[in-house]
DNA sequence: TAAGTTTGTTTAATGAATTTACAAACTATT
DNA sequence: AATAGTTTGTAAATTCATTAAACAAACTTA
């Protein structure tokens, strides 16, 4: 059912707008917020005072006058609460405690060699418990947990299918909420990564971006008009399984010639092992390329070409302003970027390309974990200031 | 700038909700609307009376009692105004006059053999003028014009690039508004087609669908949560230029192995002409296939296969509930569908496919023209009942 | 015929924003 | 210094759409 309008809705909308400006443009005065938003000074004043009341905003003293009374500057109080962000990887768990601005306060990384789901979940709980116990005192305490997972989830936070973990139908959100009794958000690691890059990384200035997560497979998180696009049922972005060769080799998904068979880290290593022995790792390849090994450099350049093929497909179908490539391959940027850009220049449609930018992640392996924490913070604010999404 | 909330916004939201229910669930009583929406009877009554005042709603007499006073039934007044919808094709113009419910009142189809842009625009104007002159008297008159074009447009209604018309940078919206002095909406024919199918065709029950327009090229219109998705800058959906063979033949777009080189009507005819002579047409192919010509049927089956390859890519990247195939190839459905479905069954990911449906258009060649008219109607209601989109 | 139900309107109350006014604090000018 | 003008933030009165409560009219059922 559609959400109807009433006075409550009006207040929530305006309060969230005011808070948004304090979060992004602070330090800022009441008068300036009124000017920017079009709300009257009286309205802004009233809403700001409620936000101060609820500890989300602080007055930090007077600012510079522009020819009249000095303004009282407002600051978002990032330490009114803390969030947990988790990147549940195939071989390790990266977890962070952030404040409400997304600043990392503590961080834990633990390995697991992919034992049973139960053992990984227990490890996950212990890791989170540890971060919670070490969190500073605050008004709202731990406001929520966000978890990025390497697979497909539904709206209830059940991990439906994670091929590389070999998990199926794990109700992760339920488990976590039963354990910690705070709101939990579960989403795909590429979606979380896209949000991480949008909020804290290379995509801060961009409303439309695609984050391509390159690892064992290839996934993508798509941000449209500043918001994550999830597709019809919440599991879109399986872009690694776009076929770039309709009669190519068979993929485990059933299709033929999927992009991730050519352009993933896994594909690179497979090929390198065929040519140079089975014990080779990405770190070794990077070292050899750095030392000038032409055969290895050629291998990276070939990968750059195939990355480009898929990126052209992304550009032509999603038309983003920014494509951000994430994952450990960022370390090979210097060999990948040239063939990739050459291919884009040659092959993408002129109109979509005009505004386009391609870059590797700025956050290295933190995009997902920061995005996951950001999910928790967003959910917190949605419940306190605006809650339009009820359906 | 974000839209702030005030009483005006509340009223617009609620009025549009009430009108929406009268448009879709009529005949319906005030009491029933209050029940469905959660608004009070008093609020609904007040809003309905304003809608009656503005001629958009009529009382059509009392309905059946369910044990008390008989309800006064309300009906949307579809003839309070009329809209023009146009499908500007490469070889012809199809234009319709519809009422506010989308019902076609008059229709005109004229051929043009792609002369200069100016001549086509003059023909377009004459065609529209003719429909306007023949429109019935109504309260609001002609409320707007929607035009679907075979190319890429910007937000100002300029046709940036239409390869098959050989047009570039034609400010069509400006021309039309200067001529007719009513609101004009310009959009890609595939986008219009998607909206047409969503409103009036196979996609009525579906919130997430992709309409694939197969003609000289292949385009797509994407509907997410009931709304058209336009990508970052308004020219997304160039899905025909997704490469399905990274080292395939060169496309006019610059890339290699684009889907439309394999699966468009144009590609089919090219191949047929190579094999069976240069004078062959789609109609001839259909007739021969109908007569049992195995070579021709094989040609269609091959096309079905390649349609499937692209549809799998669409499913994996957009994850829609429904893929609707439009264009003249609908006539070959019986030979295309089997290889297409076989391919889907084999190649698409299990989760996205679960809810998926694939079908040919129900509206034959009217999807675009009806969608275009619907654009005009939507714009009209946006300006009279809700106008949130100002930025 | 009486009792209960449903519809739709009327009236009063609520509350969030706006408008207007204003005091406080500051800068610039004479 | 004194004065004028500007800017900030609050206060009081007004506006207006919704809600809640009451009610009259119209209808069904026992």
Do A131 and A269 fall within a single domain? no
> Among all strands, which nt has the closest C1' to B6 (CA)?
C17
Q: CATH code at A258?
A: 3.30.420.40
Q: Which residue is nearest to nucleotide D20 (CA to C1')?
A: B40
Supply the DSSP string of A81-114, one letter for each residue: -EEEEEEE-SSEEEEEEEETT--EEEEEEEE---
Do A224 and A339 fall within a single domain? yes
B245 touches chain A (CB under 8 A): yes
Do B157 and B181 fall within a single domain? yes
A165 three-class SS: coil
pLDDT on residue B152: 87
Q: How far apart are CA A364 and CA A296, in angstroms?
A: 22
Residue A55 has pLDDT above 50, yes or no: yes
Is B390 within a domain?
A: no
Q: Which residue is nearest to nucleotide D24 (CA to C1')?
A: B69
Nucleotides of D under 7 A from a protein CB: 5-12, 15-22, 24-29
Q: A242–B313: do the CB atoms touch at under 8 Å?
A: yes
Highest mean pLDDT among A113-127, A170-184, B232-246, B351-365: A170-184
Residue that finishes a domain, picked among A49, A76, A103? A76
Do B209 and B356 fall within a single domain? yes
Extract the tokens encoding A120. 């990984």
Extract the tokens encoding A19. 């808070």
Is B1 within a domain?
A: no
Do A188 and A320 fall within a single domain? no
Domain that holds residue B70: 7-76
Sequence-separated contacts (24+) of B76-79 with Cβ below 8 Å:
B76/B19, B76/B22, B76/B23, B76/B26, B76/B100, B76/B101, B78/B103, B79/B136, B79/B138
pLDDT on residue A386: 43
Do B272 and B156 fall within a single domain? no
Do B69 and B87 fall within a single domain? no
Residue A58 contacts strand D, CB under 7 A: no
B188 touches chain A (CB under 8 A): no
Is B391 within a domain?
A: no
**Closest alpha carbon within chain B to A349:** B253
Any idea what DSSP says for residue B71? P
CB contacts of A169 in chain B (<8 Å) are none
Q: B232–A208: do the CB atoms touch at under 8 Å?
A: yes
Residue B338 CA distance to nucleotide C12 C1' (Å): 68
Residue that finishes a domain, picked among A20, A49, A76? A76
- Say how many domains are in chain B: 3
Is A179 within a domain?
A: yes
Is B252 within a domain?
A: yes
Is A354 within a domain?
A: yes
pLDDT tier for residue A235 given thresholds of 50, 70 and 90 = low
Do B174 and B87 fall within a single domain? yes
The Cα of B61 is separated from the nearest Cα of chain A by a number of Å equal to 27
The Cα of B274 is separated from the nearest Cα of chain A by a number of Å equal to 23
Do A212 and A348 fall within a single domain? yes
Residue that finishes a domain, picked among A50, A76, A102? A76
Residue B65's Cβ-count burial label (10 Å; 0-12, 13-18, 19+) is exposed
pLDDT tier for residue A387 given thresholds of 50, 70 and 90 = very low
Is A391 within a domain?
A: no
Whether the Cβ atoms of residue B107 and residue B73 lie closer than 8 Å to each other: no
Residue B390's Cβ-count burial label (10 Å; 0-12, 13-18, 19+) is exposed
Do B270 and B174 fall within a single domain? no
Extract the tokens encoding A200. 């804290």
Do B255 and B118 fall within a single domain? no
Do B85 and B128 fall within a single domain? yes
Any idea what DSSP says for residue B5? P
Residue A86 has pLDDT above 90, yes or no: yes
Whether the Cβ atoms of residue B311 and residue B344 lie closer than 8 Å to each other: yes
Nucleotides of C under 7 A from a protein CB: 4-12, 14-21, 23-28
Q: CATH code at A33?
A: 1.10.10.10
The mean pLDDT values, 10 residues at a time, for chain B of 391 residues are: 85 95 94 95 96 95 90 96 97 97 97 89 98 97 97 91 89 98 96 96 92 91 86 65 93 89 95 91 94 95 96 84 92 94 84 77 93 97 56 23
What are residue A212's DSSP bridge partners?
A220, A325
Residue B277 CA distance to nucleotide D11 C1' (Å): 87
Is A90 within a domain?
A: yes
What are the tens digits of pLDDT across the range A248-269? Answer: 999 888 889 999 999 999 999 9
The Cα of B357 is separated from the nearest Cα of chain A by a number of Å equal to 13
């Amino acid at each position: 059912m559609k959400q109807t309008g009433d006075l409550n809705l009006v207040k929530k909308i305006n309060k969230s707008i005011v808070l948004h400006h304090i979060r992004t443009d602070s330090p800022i005065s009441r008068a300036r917020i009124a000017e920017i938003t079009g709300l009257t000074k009286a309205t802004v004043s009233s809403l700001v005072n409620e936000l101060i009341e609820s500890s989300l905003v602080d007055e930090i003293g007077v600012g510079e006058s522009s020819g009249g009374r000095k303004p009282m500057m407002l600051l978002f109080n990032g330490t009114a609460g803390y969030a947990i962000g988790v990147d549940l990887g195939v071989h390790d768990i990266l977890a962070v405690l952030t404040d409400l601005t997304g600043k990392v306060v503590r961080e834990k990384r633990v390995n697991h060699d992919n034992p049973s789901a139960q053992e990984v979940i227990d490890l996950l709980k212990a890791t989170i418990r540890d971060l919670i116990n070490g969190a500073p005192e605050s008004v709202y305490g731990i406001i929520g947990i966000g978890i990025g997972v390497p697979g497909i989830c539904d709206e209830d936070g059940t991990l439906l299918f994670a091929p590389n973990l070999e998990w199926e139908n794990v109700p992760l959100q339920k488990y976590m909420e039963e354990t910690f009794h705070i709101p939990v958000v579960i989403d795909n690691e590429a979606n979380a990564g896209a949000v991480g890059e949008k909020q804290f990384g290379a995509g801060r200035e961009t409303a439309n971006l695609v984050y391509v997560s390159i690892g064992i497979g290839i996934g993508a998180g798509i941000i449209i008009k500043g918001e994550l696009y999830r597709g019809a049922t919440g599991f879109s972005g399986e872009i690694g399984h776009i076929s770039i060769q309709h009669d190519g080799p068979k993929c485990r998904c059933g299709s033929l010639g999927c992009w991730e068979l050519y352009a993933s880290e896994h594909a690179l290593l497979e090929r390198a092992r065929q040519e140079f022995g089975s014990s080779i790792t990405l770190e070794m390849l990077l070292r050899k390329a750095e030392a000038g090994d032409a055969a290895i450099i050629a291998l990276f350049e070939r990968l750059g070409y195939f990355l480009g093929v898929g990126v052209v497909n992304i550009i032509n179908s999603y038309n983003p302003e920014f494509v951000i490539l994430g994952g450990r391959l960022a370390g090979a940027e210097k060999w990948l970027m040239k063939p990739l850009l050459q291919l884009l220049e040659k092959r993408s449609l002129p109109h979509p390309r005009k505004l386009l930018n391609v870059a590797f992640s700025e956050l290295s392996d933190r995009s997902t974990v920061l995005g996951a924490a950001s999910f928790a913070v967003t959910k917190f604010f949605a419940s306190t200031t605006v809650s339009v999404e009820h359906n």
